[in-house]
Structure 1
Amino acid sequence: MCTRGSPFAAMRFALLAAIHCLAQARPTPGRCHLQGRLVGEVHGLLERMGGRFPPECLGDVVAIAAPTAAFRSNGTKRNAGVERAVYHTLTSIDFLFGNDTVPVSWDGRTVEDFQNIVYRQIDESKCVSSRRATADFKDRRRLLGLYFDRLASVLQEKEFSACAWEVVRRELLQTLKFILNNTLGHLFWARRRRNFH
């Protein structure tokens, strides 16, 4: 018989506590989703890390077609294609910022927080990428691939200059703003809707 103070009761309590912690830490398959709040934080950190677009970089602005069609709903309540497109966007952002060549004028702590939040969102939502692809995801992926290839080309052509990064940051802000303002109704994430300007 296990009494309250017995070693068996203590072990049982510790085991139950450990199981409870594991259940809390691991998302269940039915709860796999992107977190709108974190996407909003990514947008806010990206905006704050460099401040206003520098006037001296206006000559470096290039026309890059935003991949808005990649985030358009196909009319279903839960659009897996949109969700995968947003996830693909986050992984591409992570890849762009993975080379540690961002301008020294940007706030280093904010850049680090940005990278951590992007990675956290990717890690916590990786089950999104393993879901069965929708028929239209191939087109969505192609649009996103062209967009991110163009951003990477801007950085390489301008030798990762501060202005090249500002152009990339400006583009990503617009894309994230579009995602936040136009996809919340199609994804299982934060229900409170807020327009990003």
Structure 2
Amino acid sequence: MTQCSWLLLLVGLSMTHILSQHCDSLNFYLHKITLQTLMQLREMRTRIPVECFTEIKAFELPKEILLDTQLVERDIQTIFYEISMQVINVFDQNTFNSAWDKKLLSQFQMELYEKAEYLKECLEEENSTSEDTREKREGGMSSLQLRNLELRRYFNRILKFLKDKKYSRCTWEIVLVEIIRCFLYLEQFQRQYYK
């Protein structure tokens, strides 16, 4: 092996070690970034105009995804990742009608994406080091896959609402409140789970 190859191998092993050290405190990190995300979302929020109140819609947040007594920490981490990716997808839509500060929106999107990628790396590392990553099956799908499916349906309802209302300012304000509600629920759950 050449000297350059050894150096690359050493750097790769060091990065894996550094990442695994940070991933060891992933639950603390998740709680911290949930709170940061909530603060950023609240900072973006503007006052909802009175005319928007007629458009308020119940998106039916699937709270049961976190009520399962069989949940393990990995499930919570995976659910957080799925929520983050779905929120990124929502905010990738036509936000030009929103009254939000574009700089704040861009910063929020970039930071949430970075957090989600970090979490993805930790989850992949855990998968590669775990001896048994098989999940219990329920009718052909794992319970985690079913939870993720419920989350996707929830976010599809949000996307459909945005599209049906032509991405209006009112629609965006309602969606922002709903996403804040989603992260609030996740934060409350984390607080109770990690007591």
1:90 shift after superposition: 0.2
Which residue of 2 is the match for residue 163 of structure 1?
170
The residue type paired with residue 106 of structure 1 is W
Larger radius of gyration: 1
Partner residue of 1:145 out of 137, 145, 152: 152
The answer for the alignment partner of 2:51 in structure 1 is: 56
Q: Is the CA contact 2:44–2:101 (under 8 Å) kept in the aligned structure 1? A: yes
Q: 1: CA distance between counterparts of 2:156 and 2:182? A: 15
SS of corresponding position for 2:19: coil
Q: What is the distance in 2 between the residues matched to 1:91 and 1:107?
A: 21
Q: Where does 1:12-161 land on structure 2 (aligned, <5 Å)?
A: 23=15, 26-28=18-20, 31=24, 33=26, 35-75=30-70, 78-127=72-121, 130=124, 131=127, 132=133, 134=135, 135-161=142-168
**Residues 144 and 93 (structure 1 numbering): CA distance in 2 closer, same or farther, change over 3 Å?**
same
**Amino acid in structure 1 at the alignment position of 2:30:** Q
Provide the alpha-carbon RMSD of the alignment. 2.9
* Matched-pair contact (CA < 8 Å) for 2:83–2:151: yes
1:121-155 deviation line (CA, Å, top 9, x unaligned): 11111035544464311221121011001000001
TM-score by length of 2: 0.74
Q: Shift in Å at residue 166 of structure 1?
A: 1.1
Provide, for residues 86-114 of structure 1, a one-character-per-residue CA deviation record: whole Å limited to 9, x for no partner. 11000000111113524352112221221
SS in 2 for 1:183: helix
Any stretches of 5+ residues in structure 1 without a counterpart?
A: 1-14, 192-197
Give aligned-pair identity as a percent.
Answer: 18
Query: Which stretch shifts more, 107-116 or 149-158?
Result: 107-116
Q: Which amino acid aligns with 2:20?
A: T
Q: TM-score, normalised by structure 1?
A: 0.73
Maintained 8 Å contact 2:98/2:168: no
Corresponding position: 1:178 with 2:171: no
**Preserved contact between residue 20 and residue 122 of structure 2 (Cα < 8 Å):** no
1:82–1:186 contact (8 Å) kept in structure 2: no
Q: Aligned pair in 2 of structure 1 residues 186, 133: CA closer, same or farther (>3 Å)?
A: farther
* Higher-helix-fraction structure: 2
Name the counterpart of 1:10: none
Q: 1:97, 1:115 within 8 Å by CA — same for their partners in 2? A: yes
The answer to whether the 8 Å contact 2:42/2:180 transfers is yes
Question: How many corresponding residue pairs?
Answer: 170
Change (3 A) 1:27 1:146: same
Contact 2:158 2:175 in 1 (8 A): yes
- 1:160 aligned counterpart, secondary structure: coil
